[in-house]
């Protein structure tokens, strides 16, 4: 008989009864507050088109590389799990992929993905049994039936989830038609904002960079080889994003690195890059200069600047070639922000109108670098635990590692950073429970009084993300 699946109303609260009672009280203050999601990867088209989600495999597996990587590690091929190859060919039967997932449910025990999925299964679909081989087909049918109902249409979920703001992540040359359509549609009242993600336009080492530079120039009416035109085009596209509601630009870099070049030197590297003569070190320096230039543009147009650093993307080249990016083998590495970002911080770090949010997957930087930097520079905010660290124990480690140096008001607020639309409420609920747990411990240890804790948890959920992301 399959095991019972349920949600403990006290889940994630500390075990000590008195601390738990305090956590419960604190959680109640924020449990039902609207969701602010200032950075994520949901495709805005699902809200424009509002068509029902296809099936459980596509919904829970295909786009969630947190989930597929666990099954891949257990020996299943990505193809079996319903991920199409770039070479074309048949895609696995979603029902078969779903069976693999259900039969291996125990592998997700204790993982962040398992926690969110359990929340979604119980809370959204009323599932009461652990997925397993025996009930896989029944669960598939149950979920697919729900997905056909009006209540499970994307817009209905957006509303029932209580989402106040949802940010997407977009290519700088995207016409943002989906965002425009949503804003123009009187039947949709949610706020969906684009995010300017220019990495591929700033780093000459990315394949196709010169084509993208040419596209920028064409849009701008300048020559591709004109460095000032390039800067102007970037600033212009940023303005276009601002006009379409964007509040931030996002920078994904392997190592955080800023360089402060003269205009002449930068223009020279730009020319060499276009001529295909720039080596790896030159590309690194030019990219670093463009990070600094992005900060300068931020001070002009007000876009919040988020930096996601420390990930080696597409570690498994063979899989990347067959299945593309975001297939589960992006691996963190040691990161350092102190000397490498210094040129940017020395120039702009003392300006409170710049909001520079630094995200990390190397948790050693929390106490060593990010809290001390954010505890001094008014421009620096500590990004919420990201990616692999977006999980209960890791979040509590993050709070413990940063609060004693930087307090509660130098963080970004919770960021779900997900493309798994249905997981958004589970993730924000998790974060609120963990904030309640952390604060309750400090109350119980006599380090914060209860009244202050009540104010802090409200601020963490309702005030901080809006302030940091200028919402």
Q: How far is the CB of 318 from a copy of itself (least distance, A)?
A: 7
Cα dihedral 21/23/27/28 (nearest 10): 20
Residues near 263 by beta carbon (within 8 Å), at least 6 away in sequence? none
Of the ranges 38-46, 222-230, 340-348, 461-469, which one interacts with a copy of itself (CB under 8 A)?
Answer: 340-348
- Residue closer to a copy of itself, measured from CB, 273 or 456: 456
The CB-of-138 to a copy of itself minimum distance in angstroms stands at 20
The answer to the question of residue 19 lying near a copy of itself (CB under 8 A) is: yes
Which of 124/457 has CB closer to a copy of itself?
457
Identified binder of a copy of itself from the candidate list 216, 373, 422, 461, rule CB under 8 A: 373
Other C-beta atoms closer than 10 Å to the C-beta of 216 total 23
> Which tokens hold the place of 98?
């779903």
Torsion angles phi and psi, residue 162, rounded to 5: 70, 40
Q: Residue 349, interface with a copy of itself (CB under 8 A)? A: yes
Among 24, 191, 239, 397, binds a copy of itself (CB under 8 A): 397
Using the rule CB under 8 A, is 458 a contact of a copy of itself?
A: no
Query: For a copy of itself, which stretch binds (CB under 8 A), given 166-174, 185-193, 203-211, 386-394?
Result: 386-394
81 forms part of the interface with a copy of itself (CB under 8 A): no
The least distance separating a copy of itself from the CB of residue 120, rounded to whole angstroms, comes to: 15
Name the residue among 324, 441, 329 with its Cα closest to residue 26.
441
CB of 424 to a copy of itself, least distance (A): 19
* Closest alpha carbon to 432 in 29, 18, 19, 89: 29
114 contributes a contact to a copy of itself by CB under 8 A = yes
For a copy of itself, which is the closer residue by CB, 53 or 108? Answer: 108
For 437, residues 6+ apart whose C-beta sits below 8 A from its C-beta are 12, 13, 14, 19, 23, 396
User: SS3 for 164?
Assistant: strand
Considering only CA atoms, which of 97, 85, 89 is closest in space to residue 56?
A: 97
The binding track of 277-316 with respect to a copy of itself, each residue x by CB under 8 A or -, is -----------------------------------x--xx
- Whether 66 contacts 112, CB under 8 Å: yes
């Amino acid at each position: 008989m399959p095991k019972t699946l349920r949600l403990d109303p006290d889940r994630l609260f500390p075990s000590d009864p008195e601390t738990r009672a305090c956590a419960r009280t604190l959680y109640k203050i924020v449990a039902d507050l609207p969701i602010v999601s200032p950075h994520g990867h949901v495709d805005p088209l699902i809200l424009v088109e509002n068509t029902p989600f296809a099936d459980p495999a596509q919904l829970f597996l295909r786009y969630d590389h947190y989930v597929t990587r666990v099954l891949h590690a257990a020996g299943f091929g990505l193809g079996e799990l319903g991920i199409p190859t770039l070479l074309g060919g048949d895609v696995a039967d979603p029902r078969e992929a779903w069976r693999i997932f259900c039969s291996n449910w125990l592998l997700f025990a204790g993982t962040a993905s398992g926690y969110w999925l359990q929340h979604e299964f119980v809370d959204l679909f009323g599932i009461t049994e652990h997925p397993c081989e025996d009930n896989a087909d029944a669960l598939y049918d149950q979920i697919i039936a729900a997905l056909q109902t009006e209540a499970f249409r994307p817009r209905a979920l957006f509303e029932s989830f209580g989402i106040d703001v949802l940010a997407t992540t977009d290519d700088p040359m995207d016409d943002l038609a989906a965002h425009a359509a949503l804003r123009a549609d009187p039947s949709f009242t949610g706020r969906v904002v684009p995010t300017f993600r220019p990495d591929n336009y700033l780093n000459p080492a990315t394949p196709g960079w010169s084509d993208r530079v040419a596209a920028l120039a064409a849009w701008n009416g300048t020559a591709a080889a004109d460095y000032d035109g390039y800067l102007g085009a970037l600033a212009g596209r940023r303005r276009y994003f601002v006009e379409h509601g964007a509040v931030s630009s996002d920078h994904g870099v392997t190592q955080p690195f800023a360089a402060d070049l003269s205009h002449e030197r930068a223009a020279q590297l730009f020319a060499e890059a276009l001529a295909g003569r720039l080596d790896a070190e030159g590309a690194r320096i030019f990219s670093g200069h463009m990070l600094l230039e992005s900060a300068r543009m931020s001070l002009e147009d007000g876009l919040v600047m988020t930096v996601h650093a420390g990930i080696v993307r597409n570690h498994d080249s063979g899989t990347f070639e067959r299945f593309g990016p975001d297939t589960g083998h992006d691996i963190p590495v040691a990161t350092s922000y102190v000397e490498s970002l210094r040129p940017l911080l020395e120039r702009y770090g003392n300006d409170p109108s710049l909001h520079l949010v630094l995200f990390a997957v190397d948790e050693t930087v929390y106490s060593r670098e990010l809290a001390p930097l954010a505890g001094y520079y008014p421009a620096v905010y500590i990004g919420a635990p990201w990616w692999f660290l977006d999980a209960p124990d890791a979040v509590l480690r993050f709070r413990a590692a940063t609060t004693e140096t930087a307090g509660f008001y130098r963080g970004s607020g919770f960021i779900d950073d997900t493309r798994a639309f249905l997981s958004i409420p589970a993730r924000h609920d998790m974060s609120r429970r963990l904030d309640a747990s952390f604060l309750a411990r400090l109350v119980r240890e006599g380090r914060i009084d209860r009244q202050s804790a009540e104010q802090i948890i409200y601020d963490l959920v309702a005030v901080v993300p809006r302030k940091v992301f200028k919402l």
